[in-house]
Amino acid sequence: MSALLRWSWLGLVLGACGTGQIGDASAGPWQAPASQLPPSPSAAGSGALAPALGLPSARLRKLTVEQYRNSVADLLGADIPIPTELEPDTAQNGFYAIGASSATISPAAAEKLADAAYALAAAALSPARRTRLVPCTPQGTEDSACASEVVRKLGKRAFRRPLSDAELARYVQVAGQAASTLHDFYAGLELALAGLLQSPSFLFRSELGEPDPSDPTRLRYSSYELAARLSYALWNTTPDDALLTAAESGELRGAGLTKQIDRLLADPRAKAALDDFHLERLGLGELATLDRDPSVLAALGAIDEELRAALRDDVLRTFAEYTGSSNADILQVFDTRVAFVNGKLAELYGLTMKPSSLTRVELPASAPRRGLLGKPGFLALTAHAAETSPTLRGKYIRERLLCQSIGAPPPNVVPVLGEPDPNAPTMRARLRSHATDPSCAGCHTLMDPLGLALEHFDAIGRYRETDHGQKLDTTGELDGERFDGVLELGALLRADPRTAECLVRQAYRYALGGVETSAQEPQIRALVERFNASGHDLRALLGALAQSDVFLYASAKESP
């Protein structure tokens, strides 16, 4: 089908008169129409009322690439080949959802999404797949009744709400006119589906809210907005039919909300979303491009895709071990002996077994490592290509596990260590100069002692007794608490209250797509208390977060 025909028919959808919905041409994919913007305080109630404190602003949120792919798979089928040539997301504060909260779609990205929409529509309506999307039998080349049935159902799933009468009429018109020109009912339907997949109502999540009858200083998310908010927070994908039905019936306004949250958290899709959460907060995606100097790899051989995936999945499966059941303490990941290994990963762990696929094992009690800090994936992620980096490892622990910010090095400092001194070749000796330089000492005294505790592990995570033939000193201090080596440091991190608090903040940022403000600190504190009281049950934390005011409501004050 020619590009000219594609754009001609698509113009019937995107170029039609607006009706106040996000997908209207009057709004375009770049901003919300004025009729959908959150009201000013005076519109919500009395202009003298102050806006509700501690609530996020109402907004549109662009789907992340992962959310787009998951939503397409749920909408069209898991076997649909998802195009890979999409504009990558930009993370902010460690999460793509935060970056997507303020992102638009560039012209280049729009072209890629258009190409993807046509490819997906063609695949979904191919002769081998079309019957699962088209329950009716078309009575000729043009069949508006059958087209309406298909568009209404697909549109509700794609837009995460029912289509308006005007929207339904436009997409059915596209299908009919294209079918008439191409002499093929399914070819016409293909154009309508491509239009749905390019609509801002699919590519953006509406979280614009509606006036809350019980409190004019805030907005409540509409039932359909709340359904999508729940689904993307707990599944990282579009709502299923059951959740949309609950939204339609008003069930999400009462006790049914807890029922739906429990159902979502018990579904396998919750595990996939939790994997994505850990992947982003821990930066595990960087393992996909991991490489190492041949001198480090030695008998291990070259790093291949299988090893990179194993390094990542060992971490993710270990976290899943402590989130798969109720009352599971997620902080056990800091001192667990559980690991998941294949042949090469077993070698890095110092195990003699050679499983052909990732296999659960428990490390011996005498093993010199355990927990997250002893995993080769973490150790390789925080090292250089040819040698370890106590600074990178310490910075990672401070920023990603304790949520402490470490500033950039001064502009006049080159953050590269020189060659080892034959008289002082260890990393501890090489880093000593940073501890005495006033411009470097402040940050390095926070980072280096933590990283030096891990010096028994080389740049690929293999255990070693010495560094350049010298005995290793792995003692250090975490803000006044002394430790020696990875086992004691892991135990300190598990017991440190900042570790649990950091995980709560990260879950908040991932689920809400924003960074907490000072006004939201009381709600963060309340979530931390509940998380601690639950024995650090991550699923219970997500359930509490999904029922909190910051999740259910938005400020009625217009964003600046």
List the chain pLDDT tens, one digit each, 560 residues.
Answer: 545 455 555 555 554 433 334 433 333 333 333 333 333 333 333 333 334 568 999 999 999 999 999 999 999 999 999 988 899 999 999 999 999 988 889 999 999 999 999 999 999 999 999 999 999 999 999 999 999 999 999 999 999 999 999 999 999 999 999 999 999 999 999 999 999 999 999 999 999 999 999 998 899 999 999 999 999 999 999 999 999 999 999 999 888 999 999 999 999 999 999 999 999 999 999 999 999 999 999 888 889 999 999 999 999 999 999 997 766 899 999 999 999 999 999 999 999 999 999 999 999 999 999 999 999 999 999 999 999 999 999 999 999 999 999 877 766 665 666 666 677 688 888 888 666 666 666 687 899 999 999 999 999 999 999 998 999 999 999 999 999 999 999 999 999 999 999 999 999 999 999 999 999 999 999 999 999 999 999 999 999 999 999 999 999 875 44
State the amino acid at position 273 in one-letter form.
Answer: A
Q: Does 387 reside within a domain?
A: yes
Domain end call among 442, 462, 495:
495
Q: Are 389 and 400 in contact (CB under 8 A)?
A: no
Give the model's pLDDT for residue 557. Answer: 74
pTM: 0.89
Q: Are residues 326 and 197 in the same domain?
A: no
Sign of CA dihedral 325, 331, 332, 336: positive
Q: Are residues 188 and 278 in the same domain?
A: no
CA atoms within 13 A on the CB side of 74: 22
Q: Does 223 reside within a domain?
A: no
Q: What is the DSSP letter of 539?
A: H
Q: Does 255 reside within a domain?
A: no
Domain end call among 443, 477, 495:
495
Q: Are residues 304 and 175 in the same domain?
A: no
Domain end call among 469, 495, 521:
495
Q: Are residues 178 and 313 in the same domain?
A: no
Q: Are residues 286 and 356 in the same domain?
A: yes
Give the model's pLDDT for residue 560. Answer: 44
Write out the two tokens for 333. Answer: 């990941």
Give the model's pLDDT for residue 38. Answer: 35
Separation CA 494–CA 53 (nearest Å): 33
Q: Are residues 295 and 177 in the same domain?
A: no
Our measurement of the distance from residue 1's CA atom to the centroid of its chain's CA atoms, rounded to an integer in Å, reads 36
Helix H segments across 51-164?
65-76, 96-101, 107-124, 144-159
At 555, phi and psi to the nearest 5? -70, 140
Q: For the stretch 158-196, what's the b/e string if a residue is b when 16 or more beta carbons lie within 10 angstroms of its beta carbon?
A: bbbbebbeebbebbbbbbbbbbeebeebbbbbbbbbbbb
Q: Are residues 350 and 452 in the same domain?
A: yes
Q: Residue 396 sits in which domain range?
A: 272-411+422-495
3-state secondary structure of 485: helix
3-state secondary structure of 478: strand
Write out the two tokens for 202. Answer: 């699919």
What lies within 8 Å, CB to CB, of 94 at 6+ separation is 280, 281, 283, 400, 506, 509
Q: Does 542 reside within a domain?
A: no
Q: Are residues 307 and 456 in the same domain?
A: yes
Separation CA 182–CA 45 (nearest Å): 53
Write out the two tokens for 511. Answer: 């689920």
Number of domains observed in the structure of the chain: 2
Q: Are residues 201 and 279 in the same domain?
A: no
Give the chain's length: 560
Q: Does 303 reside within a domain?
A: yes
Separation CA 156–CA 75 (nearest Å): 10
Separation CA 478–CA 354 (nearest Å): 37
Sign of CA dihedral 191, 197, 200, 201: positive
Q: Are 275 and 318 in contact (CB under 8 A)?
A: no
Separation CA 403–CA 254 (nearest Å): 35
Our measurement of the distance from residue 257's CA atom to the centroid of its chain's CA atoms, rounded to an integer in Å, reads 23
Helix H segments across 183-292?
185-198, 200-203, 223-234, 241-249, 256-266, 268-281
Burial (CB < 10 A; 0-12, 13-18, 19+), residue 234, is buried
Write out the two tokens for 292. Answer: 């190492």
3-state secondary structure of 253: helix
State the amino acid at position 340 in one-letter form.
Answer: F
Separation CA 439–CA 379 (nearest Å): 27
Separation CA 479–CA 481 (nearest Å): 6
